[in-house]
Chain A
Amino acid sequence: MASTRDPDDISTAEAGTRRAAEHPGMPTWVKALIATAVAILVVLLIVKAASGGGHGPSRHGGLGDSPAPASASTPAG
């Protein structure tokens, strides 16, 4: 069976083997994902620095960090 192979096929196969021996490198989609993740991380760090570094519900606009005193007479609602 091997004797029927075209010489071009053999050279193509060898070239393919050589290519297979080399690592093709990081795919574009992974590079794009890493760039996006780094950009989001930078934005989060900037937001954290701007908000004083605290973390809690109030950081995102809520008021859950500052409950009223237990003696508060304001009715719920």
Chain B
Amino acid sequence: MVLGPQARKAALTAHVTASVGWLGVVILYLVFAVVGVASDDPDTVRAVYVAMDVAGPAVLMPFAVAALITGLVQSWGTPWGVLRHYWVVVKLGITVVATVVLIAYLGTLDQLGETATQPGVPLEHLRSSSPILHSAAALLLLFGATLLSVFKPRGVTLRGHRWRQAQA
């Protein structure tokens, strides 16, 4: 299946929008996570953990799933293919791993958000470096995916090689 020029532009626009949105929200999470550990204001600390809990399933996950789906559409609908070029395969792997880890991590965010809403819990029991580590790792992965998209390093898979020969 190869998309026409208009559909291809629409798919690319959707993919870039979803990916940029995902990256932006992850940067925001990193800022929230650092504020959660560093801020002296109890209300601010509680607020950022509640915000991360709320935005996880409402904003972060939709962007991640949208980036994954639009990326697959973009690959299927263009001669790049899903499994023909190593950079596409690696980028797909990064997106799948990041999405799966994110979905698994929503439980931890929920736990932190729940704890933050309990007024009797001292801040020492609430502060966690876990969101910093996860956000920073996600940022690295997404930046790597962005680099792959821009530079598109050479290398076709065996499947892509056979496809090229069949096309010749």
Contact = CB atoms under 8 A, between A and B. Distances in A.
B119 interface: yes
Contacts of B127: 62-64
Contacts of B115: 64, 67
Interface residues of B, number: 31
Interface of A: 20-21, 23-24, 26-27, 29-30, 33, 55-77
Contacts of B46: 76
B5 interface: no
B120 A70 contact: yes
B155 interface: yes
Given A23-B161, A57-B128, A64 B153 contact: no
B63 to A, nearest CB: 23
Nearest to A21: B165
Contact of A27 (B121, B126, B155, B161): B155
B55 to A, nearest CB: 17
A27 B130 contact: no
A62 B123 contact: no
Contacts of B131: 57
A27 B85 CA distance: 11
A65 B111 contact: yes
B126 A64 contact: yes
B128 A63 contact: yes
Interface string B125-157: 111111111000000000000000000011110
Given A23-B156, A56-B111, A60-B132, 13 more contacts: A56-B108, A57-B108, A57-B131, A58-B130, A60-B133, A63-B124, A64-B108, A65-B111, A67-B118, A67-B121, A68-B121, A73-B120, A76-B122
Contacts of A62: 127-130
B143 to A, nearest CB: 14
